[in-house]
Amino acid sequence: MESTPFNGLPAELTPFVGRRAETENLRSLLSEQRYILIVGMSGVGKTRLSLHLAGMVQRAFHNNVYYVQAGTLTTQADLIAEIASVIGAPPTNSVEGIALKLKQRPALVIIDGADAPDLGLAQLASELLRLCHELKIVVTARGRTHLAGERVFTLGALPVPTPDFVEGQGVDRALALDSVELLVESIRQSVPAFEATRRNAEDLFTICRLTAGIPSYLEAAARAHGVLGARGLARTLSEQSLTLDEFTSPLLRKDVMRQAFEQGLKRVEAVDRSLYLKLALFHSPFDIQFAAEVFAEGDVGATAPSMARLVDQSLLTAQMVDGEPLFSMAAPYRHLALQQLRSTDGADAAGRLLREKLISHLHSAGEEWFSESQLPSVQFLNRYTAEVTELLDELSRTPRDAHLALNLICGLRYYWQIRPVVPWPRARDWINAALKSTHIPDTARLRALQMDAYIAFYENDLEEAGAQLRLAAALAADLHPEAKDLVFGIFIDGLLQFGRGELAAAERSFRQVANVAMAGQRMSDQVGERYWFLAMTLLAKGDLSGAEQQVQEGLRFCETHGDVWGRAYTMWLLALLLLRRGEEEKASRVLNQATEVLLAYQDRTGLTLAAQLMATIALGRGDHDFAARITSTLPDGGKRPPMLIGEIDMRRLEEIKAAVGSAPFKHQHLATHAFSVPEAISHVLLQKDLQEDSSQRPKLALDPAGQLSAREWEIGKLVAEGLGNPAIATRLVISRRTVEGHVQRILGKLGFKSRSQIAVWVSERRRTEPAAVQGPHLPKKIGGG
């Protein structure tokens, strides 16, 4: 019996939404690989993606594309019979019988839902591929089949509009995300006139976040929307009073997510299941080192095999970030895992372990700020923001823990300035909640009031800062405070005087900080910051030589005490002084060095200052284009401390707009609006570097697909080798900032979302790499050398 084209393939009755990068990656893989396994959790869209792929490659296989539904099959005999039926072969119970039909011409067989443990798929596929030299097989499953040579393609959920994304990149960009697009398109199946607007955007974003970007849940949410509307659906999902399983398609098995979850756990070992339930306590993507530290007494070697088996069953997903794998659990699986964990005797103990380790890291981050641990501590806090936020929320509102919360918050004094994640910092909210406790010693209460005033200054809330400082001073009058508390109070008073423009009084306060008797006291934090603000005060007064003296003393202090972050701020100030002296080129080099560090720390406040100063230098050179580009990276509005320095006055933004004209500024703003502040600054600086390169040397050859420059191709290959940005920068003798910018540019050009997609793409093209790209390429060293 002759087969019909696309035998067994169901028709695609609704538009295929998103997954552009995934589709292109799979097409590329299929051109080189004979056996591809698409793995992912239930409901993530494996079936739909495989069907879409089939439609795209039908001509390449002369219409010999076959689709086998294996979801209801349980044995290898069932699978062989089903394949024979789909390809139009005579009934058979042998692999050879199928092979007689398939080896006649090039063919693609898609086996969908091969999850039953007794299907014997690996053995069957291996035999078919051996007997049929022009056959290719694509399998979708929740776990690995462990066929030798299988190429695994992990399919994750669709990106969702997180609050950080919406605030940093805007509503319009968020509405264009695949998860929102799928939700809207699914709603239109029953309400054709439905439109996503700014009015309903926040409700749509909430729905997408609460479905975790899982396509089957987004489609279920669209059905629920017909009953509840966007506002009602967002509210009921937020209140967890609605289960989307009840709105899944009637064609799907009920409670399919729970069944897939339970089947996956059955396929791993008991030790893996125990670890998995505990890992559900993580909100954020986590690294294996911290997971092992919390739940395996630091034994990474014992944890790694369990993590690998959990990834194999799609219970965890892994993504390479700067060469390091980060693991995460899909929201529905996490919900189910937490339910199971809470029903066990070990739930409280696991929670305590995580809490204790987080508290330990927060203590260390505060105590070791002036050390080589500074940057790793910042990176840890940035990674586990959700866990830290939850912990400090709980501690600050629990009377018996309020004192501990205040100690941690005050210890992280500098970290709150970096503001790594919107809506941080919340420190003032935590302080105010903790101060309601009656168990707070007066000394701790004094420090908390001072800290509140300090943060209020950085929020440009001078009135509230003054009120809190007066409360602290009144309390101190009845105590015998330690010298460091006295010094901190004087320093904050100086900040407020500086903010109000009372420069003579501010200078006296900052100088007094250094003159307070400090015998036996560790005063490095107050003294170090004093150099910077005293220099700023003298600069505002026009005393350049006095300001320069303070900057030089501040640099020596930072180097002595290992304050890399503080040194970057002081280097920024040095660049400003050099600019005042007319040494523009030297100022640019010093500013580049400071920006490198601020990018590593993801310090949005410092990077905003750096971008403003870069724009000022560019305007002075007449480079209005770069001024527009770098200014377009700055967030609109926001609370910033008063600085009283013309070069970084936010009114310069309007001056730049006036100098450049509105059209170029709008164009550049749109070009950088897809990035966070650090990413946008990296992107703009990279563009500038590339423009300078192109003006100084011949254009370089392109990669095999004609999309990447030679340098981008070179960096892409190193990404494919698993190197992180620091290692790539060292290998190529260029700055980390330049590497980060190149990686972002590659992602943008290829439409990818992750480094792993770059790695797959590069690996498929290395065999055809042109000689021009293989040849030597001398990089230009960027910045401060």
Q: Which residues of 273-296 are buried (b: 16+ CB within 10 A; e: fewer)?
A: bbbbbbbbbbbbbbbbebbbbbbb
Q: Look up residue 566 and give its two tokens.
A: 């503080």
Query: Which positions ≥6 away from 704 have C-beta within 8 Å?
Result: 765, 768, 769, 770
Gap between the Cα atoms of 83 and 75, Å rounded = 13
Residues 334-363: pLDDT tens digits?
989 999 999 998 899 999 999 999 999 999
**439-475: per-residue pLDDT in tens?**
899 999 999 999 999 999 988 889 999 999 999 999 9
The answer to whether residues 54 and 67 touch, using CB atoms and an 8 Å cutoff, is: yes
**Residues of the chain predicted below pLDDT 70:** 1-8, 13, 168, 240-243, 245-246, 248-255, 322, 419-425, 516-527, 634-641, 644, 646-707, 730, 733, 735-737, 751, 753, 756, 763-785
d(CA 292, CA 691): 46
| Model confidence, pTM | 0.75
Given the DSSP bridges, would you call strands 324-328 and 107-112 parallel, antiparallel or unpaired? unpaired
Q: What is the pLDDT of residue 612?
A: 85
Which DSSP string corresponds to 532-570? HHHHHHHHHHT-HHHHHHHHHHHHHHHHHHT-HHHHHHH
Are the C-beta atoms of 617 and 647 separated by less than 8 Å? no
Rg of the Cα trace of the chain? 30
The pLDDT, as a whole number, for residue 707 is 64
Give residue 422's pLDDT: 52
pLDDT of residue 654: 62
Query: What is the per-residue pLDDT for 573?
Result: 94
Tens of pLDDT along 497-548?
Answer: 999 999 999 999 999 887 764 444 455 556 678 899 999 999 999 999 999 9
pLDDT of residue 382: 85
Are 243 and 259 within 8 A, CB to CB?
Answer: no
Q: Token match 């990035």: residue? A: 675
pLDDT reported for residue 659: 60
Residue 317 belongs to what H/E stretch?
Answer: strand 317-321
DSSP, collapsed to helix, strand or coil, labels residue 326 as strand
pLDDT on residue 575: 95
**Residue 699: per-residue pLDDT:** 38
